[in-house]
Structure 1
Amino acid sequence: MGAKQIWYSSDENVGNGYMEITEVRENAFVAMDMGFDQNNNRDFTDEGEEEPTASFILEETEGGTKVTWTFDITGVSGFEKMMVVGLEMFLGPPYEEGLAALKERVENRPNFKADISLQEVAAITYAGMAVTTSHDPDEIAQAMGDTYGQIMAAITQSGATMGEGYPLAVTTEYSETSIGMICGIPVTEESTIDSEVVTIRQSPEGAALRAIHYGSYNNLEATHEEINQYAGYYGYEITGMPWEVYVTDPSMEADTTKWITEVYYPVN
């Protein structure tokens, strides 16, 4: 709610205007305020003039959903009433085209298996170490296991304090033959590390798409592909490399179907 779109156009059939979402009831209703710049001065606040509103009304029907797109205006009097009567002829065709486009988009939505959502992510302080490996799952597991072991040893030897959160891996490079990453273990902000290869770092922060992956690490590539597809479908721009957070400790849970991994991609 509160999302707003403003447009300016020299085309007299388009003009200047705005739409702002003012109410949302999930899977039921969306209401919008609208404004039009009649004098081409980019001012949408003409005093004493009622601005129109629009809404999408969703009704569950047998085998689908009925969508009604409304255009409402109040405070109309005199000759303006005759103008309103002709609105259906003017608005009808573009409304029908818009509803048809909405129907096509919804019905062609990919079937996303992962639980994907937009998150505002806070930075995490962690002790990290760089590692590069091939795409072979066994080699990745071996390399990451060895790297986390060295990080834990450095944390212990330095007297650093473990922080809240789970082990993570931030991708730094990706090619057809190799993957570069920074493996990390959270520590407190005031921690220091006495090591040439393990350093204190900050994880990415800000807006990110998060996918929750259930199961073996061997299937993580499919979740990465799905989150990229999700970003494309919903118009998100991926702005950097992904990172993974390993919620489940494999040494504490042998059943891979119970493993949980969070996959993040920074976006605009």
Structure 2
Amino acid sequence: MKNRLLLVFIVLIAVLAVSVYFIPPVKTSGYKVLVTCNSAATMRIIVNENNWEKWWPGKKSGQSMYTYHGFTYRIDKILLNGFDATIFNGKDSAKANLQIEPVSMDSSNFTWTYASILPANPAKKILYYINGFPFAGNIKNLTGEMKKHFDQQENVYGMRISRDKVKDSTLVSLKNTLDHYPTTEDVYGMIAATKEYIQKNGGKQTDFPMLNVHQTGITSYETMIGIPTAVPVPADERFITKRMVLGFILTSEIKGGVATVKEAEQQMNNYVLDHNKLSPAIPFQQLVTDRMQEKDTTKWITRLYFPVFY
């Protein structure tokens, strides 16, 4: 009996000695996951805290405070490539840092580093050191939820962007400069004039009208419409015949009014910049819905096109 008590005493002393002399009071750990998302696109979303509720899998509990499965994340500082946070779980806390690291044009590593103060209780300290603090499991699950969100292109750019081949090679275009953003009446007046010109010159329309609006000054909007034709149509001083380069083109389909389309155009431009794309020609909208006939803008269908070299 005495031997057993002595053995237990020796084990406890050993545990205490290991805890005090060999295990540091702070444990630093890390976790990494590969995400199918461009790093610049990811950071554009993360640096703006107004976007956080769109992708954070838990809830916002206060100013720069977010909860996830019982843990609270206080965002201490948003960085150019991630953020610093303090994670709370009851009386325990950990300092954490998330880094968004580019791997390729379409993938990034989400890399966490976190440091937690180990318990003063020797046995608990050893247990936490070996098995890990509860922060480890929470961070892993949170990062898995983040990966699901950022893996989806629609969540990053608000739409699905595909790369296709240019199909229509010949079109007739008309350009006007307006002192205001073109109204629906302005656009369809130009479309009607172009259609009439094509018909008078024996041409045949092969697809929906195309539109490009470029703001050249505070109150100056260069507005161009184009209508694809089966064969080239003779040009004059107003109507120009153009041939598109039969290369690659980025495409997306949008449903909504002018403001929705403008936002989608900005996101398409972000995609081009994020992926270092070069363009041989101007981007344009394709007006699938006749906006003069359909007054409900939520039903307007617009296809976006952005020519690229690769």
Q: Under TM normalisation by the shorter chain, which class is it?
A: 0.5 to 0.7
Give 2:189's match in structure 1, choosing from 129, 146, 162: 146
- The answer to whether structure 1 residue 102 and structure 2 residue 145 are counterparts is no
1:17 counterpart residue number: none
Structure 2 distance, partners of 1:250, 1:187, is: 21
1:136-215 to structure 2, matched below 5 A, reads 136=181, 139-158=182-201, 160-170=202-212, 174-192=216-234, 195-215=236-256
For the aligned residue pairs, the C-alpha RMSD in angstroms reads 3.6
AA aligned opposite 1:102:
N
Structure 1 residues 79-107: Cα deviation after superposition (integer angstroms, max 9, x where no partner): xxxxxxxxxxxxxxxxxx96995235985
How far the C-alpha of 1:189 sits from its partner, in A, is: 0.7
Asked whether the equivalents of residues 131 and 143 of structure 1 are also in contact (C-alpha less than 8 Å), the reply is no
User: 1:98 and 1:203 mapped to 2: Cα distance?
Assistant: 34
1:251 shift after superposition: 3.6
Alignment of 1:254 with 2:254, yes or no, is no
1:117 has 2:117 as partner: no
Equivalents in 1 of 2:103, 2:237: separation in Å?
60
Distance 1:98 1:115 in 2: 22
In structure 2, the residue matched to 1:131 is: 176
Aligned-pair CA distance for 1:250 = 2.0
State the SS of the aligned residue for 1:114: coil
Question: Aligned residue for 2:92?
Answer: none
Q: Give the Å deviation of 1:222.
A: 0.4
Q: 1:237 to 1:128 in 2, by over 3 A?
A: closer
Kindly state the Cα deviation for residue 179 of structure 1 after the two structures are TM-superposed. Answer: 2.6
Structure 2: give runs of 5+ residues left out of the alignment.
1-35, 37-101, 112-142
Q: Secondary structure at the match of 2:109?
A: helix
Instruction: Using the TM superposition, give the Cα deviation of residue 170 of structure 1 relative to its aligned residue in structure 2, in angstroms.
Output: 4.1
- Code of the aligned partner of 1:121: V
Matching of residues 68-87 of structure 1 within 5 Å: none
Q: Give the drift of 1:261.
A: 1.0
CA distance in 1 between partners of 2:199 and 2:279 (Å): 36
The partner residue of 1:233 within 245, 264, 274 is 274
Offset at 1:210? 1.7
> 8 Å contact 2:184–2:291 — kept in the other structure?
no
Would the alpha carbon gap of residues 250 and 180 (structure 1) be closer, same or farther in structure 2, given more than 3 Å must change?
Answer: same
**Which AA in structure 1 matches 2:227?**
I
Greater fraction of residues in helix: 2
Q: How far apart, in 2, do the equivalents of 1:142 and 1:98 lie?
A: 47
Residues 206 and 172 of structure 1, relative CA distance in 2, 3 Å threshold: farther
Tell me by how many angstroms 1:175 deviates.
Answer: 4.2
* CA distance in 1 between partners of 2:178 and 2:290 (Å): 21
What's the CA shift string for 1:109-164, capped at 9, x where partnerless? 4622122122221343222211122453xx44333222122212222333x23232
Shift of 1:205: 3.8
For residue 227 of structure 1, report the CA deviation from its aligned partner. 0.8
| Secondary structure of 2:252 counterpart | strand
CA distance in 1, matches of 2:109, 2:229: 47
Code of the aligned partner of 2:308: V
1:201-221 CA distances to partner (integer Å, 9 max, x unpaired)? 224542222222211123221
In 2, the alpha carbon distance for the partners of 1:98 and 1:196 equals 51
Q: Which of 1 and 2 has higher RCO (CA within 8 Å, sep 6+)?
A: 2
The separation in 2 between residues aligned to 1:149 and 1:267, in whole angstroms, is: 29
Q: Cα distance, 1:254 vs. partner?
A: 3.3
List 4+ stretches of structure 1 deviating above 6 A.
Answer: 97-100
Q: Secondary structure of 2:189's partner? A: helix
Find the aligned partners of 1:166 and 1:98 in 2 and give their Cα distance. Answer: 40
Percentage of pairs with the same residue: 20
Q: Secondary structure of 2:161's match?
A: strand
SS in 1 for 2:295: coil
Q: Which secondary structure state, in structure 2, belongs to the residue aligned with residue 149 of structure 1?
A: helix
Counting only pairs closer than 5 Å after superposition, residues 39-78 of structure 1 correspond to structure 2 as: none
Equivalent-residue separation in structure 2 for 1:233 and 1:123 (angstroms) = 27
